[in-house]
Amino acid sequence: DTGVSQDPRHKITKRGQNVTFRCDPISEHNRLYWYRQTLGQGPEFLTYFQNEAQLEKSRLLSDRFSAERPKGSFSTLEIQRTEQGDSAMYLCASSFGQAGGTDTQYFGPGTRLTVL
């Protein structure tokens, strides 16, 4: 069990550019979550996958954001036409869940995005 990994750890981009982040969950975890954390705040939910299906999206996820989990393993989060307000830490979490139960989410180290 190598834990949740995220790549890159840091990304600096110019306003208007597109960026893509990758998350590799703990193997055999069927659920994967994306959160965003700004300085001094708790993480805020963005979106959630069960296997390859995207089951829930937050209102925070504007149409410039898209997430995929094509084979139910790793996931990517893309931000198009970045804005300075997108600067934040993007966190990925995974869990193994069964119907009706409470699953425990394990977090990766995050990708820190700075938009200049």
Partner 1 sequence: GNSVTQMEGPVTLSEEAFLTINCTYTATGYPSLFWYVQYPGEGLQLLLKATKADDKGSNKGFEATYRKETTSFHLEKGSVQVSDSAVYFCALSDMDTGRRALTFGSGTRLQVQP
- Binding residues (CB under 8 A) for partner 1: these are 4, 31, 33, 35, 40-45, 48, 56, 58, 91, 93, 97, 100, 102-110
User: Residue 16 burial by CB count (10 A; 0-12/13-18/19+): exposed, middle or buried?
Assistant: exposed
Q: Which is nearer to partner 1, 9 or 81 (CB)?
A: 9
DSSP state letter for 10: E
* Closest distance of CB 16 from partner 1, Å: 29
Q: Which is nearer to partner 1, 14 or 104 (CB)?
A: 104
* Closest distance of CB 68 from partner 1, Å: 18
Q: Dihedral, CA atoms, 46, 51, 54, 56, nearest 10 degrees?
A: -60
Q: Which is nearer to partner 1, 17 or 62 (CB)?
A: 62
The string over 49-80, giving b where at least 16 C-beta atoms fall within 10 Å of a residue's C-beta and e elsewhere, is beeeebeeeeeebeeebebebeeeebbebebe
* Closest distance of CB 92 from partner 1, Å: 9
Q: Which is nearer to partner 1, 60 or 116 (CB)?
A: 60
